[in-house]
Amino acid sequence: MSAEEREMGRKVYISFKTEDLAYKTAIQSMENLDYVDKSLNTPIDSDDEDYILRRIRADYLYDSTVTVFLIGDYSAEDRGAYEQRFIKRELQASLYSSESHTKNGILGVVLPAVRDKVFGGSYLCTQCNGNHNLVSVNDSTVVSEFSYNYYIPNGKCSHSEDERYCVLARWEDFKENPGDYVERAFEKRTAAIAKKTRVRP
């Protein structure tokens, strides 16, 4: 990390559904989070979806380094492509690498309303006879851009932390130490698993 980044924190973009605006606002007021806010705070005044997305990429996402994806009741792939068009494209832009910009780290923050839907406790695996934690990151909880890059196919019955690109945190844990989770997501950008991500699963 450069001295400037240490002084100013990571550049964070927050991807969220309008229904979860209160949580975005809460993150922006966290005193224990040292970051540069690259989020869109005022809606872009246009009905042209392509123009809106070009503006988001050019003005907000292009120099961010971590995207925080708020996972709530309205974040699932199952809600339909049209309903999820903005968060899907925000995550696609975050996962895209080019000569001028590397992909962002992705941090999914599970909001209280869906905590029990996502985190289901432990279970006995019939494949390896071991205990695993049930974490439901799938089309009924998140968009596919997040689920694929959280559970990148590996042919195994479980994933270690090194085998996931996306980082996941409960809202309650994130509030306690947001900078730690942002840093974990940032570090994934240069981890070996970063080579296995997909922009459009």
What is d(CA 107, CA 124) in angstroms, rounded to the nearest whole number? Answer: 28
Expressed as residue numbers, the domain containing 10 is 3-196
Percent of the chain with pLDDT over 90: 60
Q: How many CA atoms lie within 13 A of 29 on its CB side?
A: 6
Locate 64 and state its tokens.
């961010």
Nearest in space to 14 (alpha carbons), one of 114, 100, 111, 102: 111
Residue at 201 is within a domain: no
Place of tokens 């950008």: 189
* Domain-embedded: residue 90: yes
Q: Residue 32: which pLDDT band, with cuts at 50, 70 and 90?
A: confident
Residue 116, in any domain of the structure: yes
Number of domains making up the chain: 1
Containing H/E element for 4?
helix 3-8
Other C-beta atoms lying within 10 Å of the C-beta of residue 12: 25
Task: State residue 52's pLDDT score.
Answer: 75
Which band of pLDDT confidence, cut at 50, 70 and 90, is reported for residue 101?
A: confident
> Greater confidence, 59 or 22?
22
Q: Do residues 159 and 193 make contact, with C-beta atoms less than 8 angstroms apart?
A: no
Quick check: is 113 in a domain? yes
Question: Is 110 part of a structural domain of the chain?
Answer: yes
Q: What digits encode the pLDDT tens for the residues 49-90?
A: 778 777 777 777 888 899 999 999 999 999 998 899 889 989
